[in-house]
Amino acid sequence: MKVSHPAVRHYLLVTILFIFPIVKKANAVEPLLTTAHNFDSHAPIFESNPEQDLISFAKKLLGVKYRYGASSPTSGFDCSGFVHYVFKKFGVALPRSSSAMGKAGEDVSLAQAKAGDIILFTGTNPARRSIGHVGIVLSNSAESGLRFIHASSGKAQAVTETMLEGSYKRRFMKVVRVTAS
């Protein structure tokens, strides 16, 4: 079948890359065996650790363009749309806005933050100390610091990975845990 319309090709690609593996996993007797780089590998795409599964899925969205008010890989993401989309794929219902996400789950200290937690920041206006940006913690260690993934309206204009330093460290508000473990 020849598909020439770019939107249809993109939809098919998203379906093949994102939806098919999830449906296949849900219906599979054996785990889906694939990796991002080598489809002949015997490494499972989904680990036994739910937080790492969530992180792996979120990383597949790296580079998706930033778009205010958007919440899908085809139209783009704003920060809360990205977080909402990722957690929804794993059955975790979250509010759609970053400020409401700050009221979800259980507050966790920055030192106790771990992969899969939600990290919240003020918006870009330094005069307002209210939640206005959100991301997902990728890793947190004393040696290398905290790294998170988010849809950035800044320089990247896309889903990107960022260290908690500089302006993000100054804008940091809190971390919440919405997963069971």
In a domain, 75, yes or no: yes
For the chain, what is the domain count?
1
Average pLDDT for the chain: 81
Cβ-contact 122, 133 below 8 angstroms: yes
In a domain, 35, yes or no: no
Q: What is the pLDDT of residue 160?
A: 98
| Count of residues in the chain | 181
In a domain, 128, yes or no: yes
Q: What is the CATH number of the domain that holds 125?
A: 3.90.1720.10
Note if the pTM is more than 0.85. Answer: no
* Burial label, 179 (beta-carbon count in 10 A; 0-12, 13-18, 19+): middle
Whole-angstrom Cα distance, residue 125 to residue 128? 6
Q: Which domain holds residue 169?
A: 50-177
In a domain, 135, yes or no: yes
In a domain, 12, yes or no: no
Please report, for the chain, how many H helices and E strands are present, in that order: 6, 8
Q: What is the pLDDT of residue 125?
A: 85
Q: What is the pLDDT of residue 14?
A: 44
Whole-angstrom Cα distance, residue 86 to residue 90? 7
Q: What is the pLDDT of residue 27?
A: 40
Residues 6+ away with beta carbon under 8 Å from 34:
21, 41, 43, 44, 45
Cβ-contact 132, 99 below 8 angstroms: yes
Secondary-structure percent of the chain, ordered helix, strand, coil, rounded to 5:
30, 25, 45
CA angle 163, 168, 169 (to 5 degrees): 85
In a domain, 11, yes or no: no
**Strand, coil or helix: 4:** coil
Could you say which residues of the chain have pLDDT below 70? 1-48, 181
In a domain, 10, yes or no: no
In a domain, 91, yes or no: yes
Cβ-contact 150, 162 below 8 angstroms: yes
